[in-house]
């Protein structure tokens, strides 16, 4: 058997030292993030498994110690529960209308603020200001604006338009007003729901505007110069250059908007508590009410946990479909 050369032994020792240093570095890295890992394991992963267990029991009161294992019965009950199905319809209208309008509004606002105008930074700060405030604070402000003697009705009276007595107490749906549809699942979003949508669009456009603004500033200017030589300016340049290059950002905005709208809670809890006549009832608020119990909704923690996992599944599915059909479509182009 041939003995190893000094060069080979030296390289092996060097490799061993490198491996030892890498292990020390890895251990040091894990020690630094260990507080986060411990907290995440206990309060996120641990509670997630506990909630899944609760969803398969008949637990009523949140802090009760008496419960029985019922398997998937809560999931079956949730999928046939009238309130939960109605809340899914309500949040579907909310997601469709809010996501589309806030995406278009954020893009147009970003294009306007990306133009070389005087006081550009001041305008950007002013337009972004609504996003700084808490959603609860904004909800309270709009709650005062929408009351019978609020600014909205006062502004309508100045324009000579008919006043709505109370915007947050109008259960009539959009299709009910236009076509006389009375079915609770088909009458469309109520006037109250549309008023809350308008508030949400107003407060979310500035944040999404920043994403579009950053993406617009990354588009090379020479592309527009070359397009101008070929006669592509204005609207034609927008659809030929700007929009195709913004597609990854559009996908991100659509996904973030969809996740946020499907989880809407603060505005409903502060302004309507699901009313009037459950036309603003959404899954997140129903889950909250079922978990803790309210004067209108009795507590059923096991059923609430099942509803929460169904809602999470819907959000994951919606995100997957958007990434699959929108993002892949942009890559092909």
Is the model's pLDDT at 5 over the cut of 60? no
| Local confidence band at 1 (pLDDT 50, 70, 90 cut-offs) | very low
In a domain, residue 278? The reply is: yes
In a domain, residue 266? The reply is: yes
Lowest mean pLDDT among 70-84, 96-110, 146-160: 146-160
Is the model's pLDDT at 108 over the cut of 70? yes
- Model pLDDT for residues 177-215, shown as the tens digit of each residue: 888 888 888 899 999 999 999 999 988 898 899 899 989
pLDDT for the residue numbered 269: 92
pLDDT for the residue numbered 90: 95
Q: Is 177 exposed, middle or buried (0-12, 13-18, 19+ CB in 10 A)?
A: middle
| Local confidence band at 10 (pLDDT 50, 70, 90 cut-offs) | low
| Local confidence band at 89 (pLDDT 50, 70, 90 cut-offs) | very high
pTM assigned to the model: 0.84
Is the model's pLDDT at 6 over the cut of 70? no
| Local confidence band at 272 (pLDDT 50, 70, 90 cut-offs) | very high
In a domain, residue 257? The reply is: yes
| Local confidence band at 7 (pLDDT 50, 70, 90 cut-offs) | low
Lowest mean pLDDT among 96-105, 119-128, 233-242: 119-128
In a domain, residue 131? The reply is: yes
Identify the DSSP state of 171.
Answer: -
In a domain, residue 4? The reply is: no
In a domain, residue 9? The reply is: no
pLDDT for the residue numbered 305: 93
Give the CA distances from residue 187 to residues 115, 176, 191, in Å, rounded to whole numbers and listed in that order: 42, 5, 11
CA-to-CA distance for 213 and 115, rounded, in angstroms? 10
Helix residue spans in the chain (DSSP H) = 6-40, 47-54, 73-80, 82-114, 120-132, 135-146, 151-158, 174-179, 191-217, 221-229, 235-237, 243-245, 247-262, 266-271, 283-292, 301-322, 328-332
Is the model's pLDDT at 14 over the cut of 70? no
> Which residue has better confidence, 36 or 6?
36
Domain range for 266: 82-332
Please spell the DSSP secondary structure of 60-95, one letter per residue: -STT-----B-TTHHHHHHHH-HHHHHHHHHHHHHH
Mean of the per-residue pLDDT values of the chain: 85
- The number of helices, as runs of H, and strands, as runs of E, in the chain is 17, 0
Give the residue-averaged pLDDT of 36-46: 84
Q: What is the CATH number of the domain that holds 319?
A: 1.10.3720.10
- Model pLDDT for residues 290-332, shown as the tens digit of each residue: 998 887 888 889 999 999 999 999 999 988 888 777 666 555 5
- Model pLDDT for residues 112-167, shown as the tens digit of each residue: 888 777 777 787 777 777 778 888 888 999 999 998 888 888 888 888 776 667 88
Chain length of the chain: 333
Contact criterion met (CB below 8 Å) for 322 and 103: no
Instruction: Tell me how many domains the chain contains.
Output: 1
Is the model's pLDDT at 61 over the cut of 50? yes
pLDDT for the residue numbered 12: 72
Phi, psi for 69 (deg, rounded to 5): -75, 125
In a domain, residue 190? The reply is: yes
Q: Dihedral sign for Cα 302, 306, 292, 86, please.
A: negative
Is the model's pLDDT at 9 over the cut of 50? yes
In a domain, residue 46? The reply is: no
């Amino acid at each position: 058997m041939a003995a190893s050369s000094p060069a080979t032994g030296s390289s092996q020792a060097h490799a061993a030292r490198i491996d030892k240093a890498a292990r020390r570095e890895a251990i040091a890295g894990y020690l630094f993030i260990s507080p986060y890992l411990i907290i995440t394991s206990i309060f996120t992963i641990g509670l997630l498994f506990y909630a899944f267990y609760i969803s398969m029991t008949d637990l009523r009161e949140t802090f009760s110690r008496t419960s029985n294992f019922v398997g998937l019965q809560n999931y079956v009950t949730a999928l046939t529960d009238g309130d939960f199905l109605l809340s899914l319809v309500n949040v579907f209208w909310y997601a469709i209308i809010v996501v589309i309008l806030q995406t278009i509004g954020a893009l147009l606002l970003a294009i306007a603020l990306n133009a070389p105008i005087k006081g550009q930074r001041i305008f950007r700060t002013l337009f972004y200001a609504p996003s700084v405030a808490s959603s609860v604070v904004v909800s309270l402000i709009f709650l005062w604006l929408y009351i019978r003697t609020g600014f909205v009705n006062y502004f309508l009276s100045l324009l000579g338009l008919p006043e709505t007595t109370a915007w947050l107490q109008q259960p009539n749906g959009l299709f009910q007003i236009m076509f006389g549809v009375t079915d609770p699942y088909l009458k469309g979003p109520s006037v109250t729901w549309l008023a809350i949508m308008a508030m949400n669009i107003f407060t979310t456009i500035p944040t999404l505007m920043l994403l579009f603004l950053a993406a617009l500033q990354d588009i090379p200017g020479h592309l527009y110069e070359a397009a101008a030589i070929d006669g592509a300016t204005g609207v034609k340049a927008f659809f030929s250059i700007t929009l195709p290059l913004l597609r990854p950002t559009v996908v991100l905005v659509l996904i973030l908007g969809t996740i946020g709208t499907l989880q809407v809670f603060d505005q409903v809890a502060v302004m309507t508590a699901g009313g009037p006549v459950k036309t603003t009832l959404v899954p997140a608020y129903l889950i909250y009410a079922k978990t803790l119990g309210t004067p209108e909704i009795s507590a059923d923690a096991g059923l609430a946990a099942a509803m929460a996992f169904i809602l999470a599944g819907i959000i994951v599915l919606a995100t997957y479909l958007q990434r699959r059909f929108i993002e892949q479509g942009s890559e092909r182009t």
